[in-house]
Structure 1
Amino acid sequence: MKINWGTSIVIAFVLFASFIFYFIIKVQTDSKYDNDLVVEEYYKHDAKFGDEMIRIQNATDLKYKPTIVTDIQGITIHFPNQFVPKNIKGKVSLYRPSNKKLDFEIPISVTNPTLLIPKTSLLGGRWDINMEWQYEGKSYLTKEIVYIN
């Protein structure tokens, strides 16, 4: 039996389409290819972007800034000695880009100028840290990416 070129093109197109549909179905059904948004309510978060930029600018304008350091104990956040620790309020949000089930928040309530996030609560890999805090009526936002071994 001889197949003409028109039939060959149709067969090639059907095989290619089947190949594409197979991968679409595989990506949609396999949990390994999770495609959730990083932020649950993306558009509400985007509407507050201007306020977020003001808080980031406030943190940038500080003469003495908090520092985020990774060490063998975990992640340590050092506030400058010029701040009164009991007046610092806010939260530290840790986001794991690869798995949102590992995300968590820690309230900032310090009696000394350091806050330790123990390594036992952190898996190895990348963590996005968003530190939203207030001091003397002014709001600040510090963002940083750290890698845990």
Structure 2
Amino acid sequence: MNWGHKIIIVFVVFAAGILTLVTKSMRTKIDMVTPDYYGEELKYQQVIDGKENVNRLSAPVAIAQQSAGVLITLPPELHDKHITGKLTFYRPSDSGRDIALPLQPDPAGQQLINRQLFIKGQYKVKLTWTMNEQPYYQEQLLNIN
């Protein structure tokens, strides 16, 4: 085999490698944090205000894993108050496993989310609620065992 054939073989192998990389990269699934990323970014001032309001509470919202599920416990000053809000369990590794629920605490300020909704792994719990026209926002990492 002469040197001309060897150069052609190198070019063919190189082209096949590049085509393989392009094909694999086109098939890779890329999840954005949120489909409306730019719209959410414009609303970020509400998140900042919500975090400041949470810091003024006597204690942050407690998020604990129990055998029956995930227990959300509001601080005492929020018990028996009219609260409208949303719980989002964001799964960074798979957006198809995200869970969004309304925040509906009982009179004792607790809400239990059934364990069967979750799979093992890490979630970022995002609580957003409004009370007396004031926004509140809290985030916390939670590992489901």
TM-score above 0.5, yes or no: yes
**What's the CA shift for 1:13?**
4.8
**What's the CA shift for 1:63?**
2.5
Q: Which runs of 5+ in 2 are unaligned?
A: none
**Distance (whole Å) between structure 2 residues aligned to residue 17 and residue 85 of structure 1:** 68
Give % identity.
Answer: 25
> Match of 2:40?
45
> Match of 2:120?
124
2:138 corresponds, among 131, 139, 142, to 142
> Match of 2:71?
76
Query: RMSD value over aligned CA atoms?
Result: 2.1
**Distance (whole Å) between structure 1 residues aligned to residue 50 and residue 125 of structure 2:** 15
Residues 13-71 of structure 1: CA deviation (Å, up to 9, x unaligned): 55234213212212323xxx421212011111112222222212221232322111112
User: How many residues are paired up?
Assistant: 144
* TM-score, length of structure 1 as denominator length: 0.83
Question: Which secondary structure does the structure 1 equivalent of 2:113 belong to?
Answer: strand
Kept after mapping to 2: 8 A contact 1:129/1:144: yes
In the TM superposition, structure 1's runs of 4+ consecutive aligned residues that sit over 4 Å from their partners are none
Residues 114-145 of structure 1: CA deviation (Å, up to 9, x unaligned): 11111111111111111001223211111111
Question: Which secondary structure does the structure 2 equivalent of 1:85 belong to?
Answer: coil
Kept after mapping to 2: 8 A contact 1:59/1:65: yes
Change (3 A) 1:19 1:119: same
2:18 corresponds, among 12, 17, 20, to 20
Q: Which runs of 5+ in 1 are unaligned?
A: none
Kept after mapping to 1: 8 A contact 2:87/2:100: yes
Moved more, 48-57 or 126-135: 48-57
Question: Which secondary structure does the structure 1 equivalent of 2:76 belong to?
Answer: coil
Higher relative contact order (CA 8 A, sep 6+): 2
* TM-score, length of structure 2 as denominator length: 0.85
Residues 88-111 of structure 1: CA deviation (Å, up to 9, x unaligned): 220101112222222221111222
Question: Which secondary structure does the structure 2 equivalent of 1:72 belong to?
Answer: coil
The within-5 A match list for 1:59-138 is 59-111=54-106, 112-138=108-134
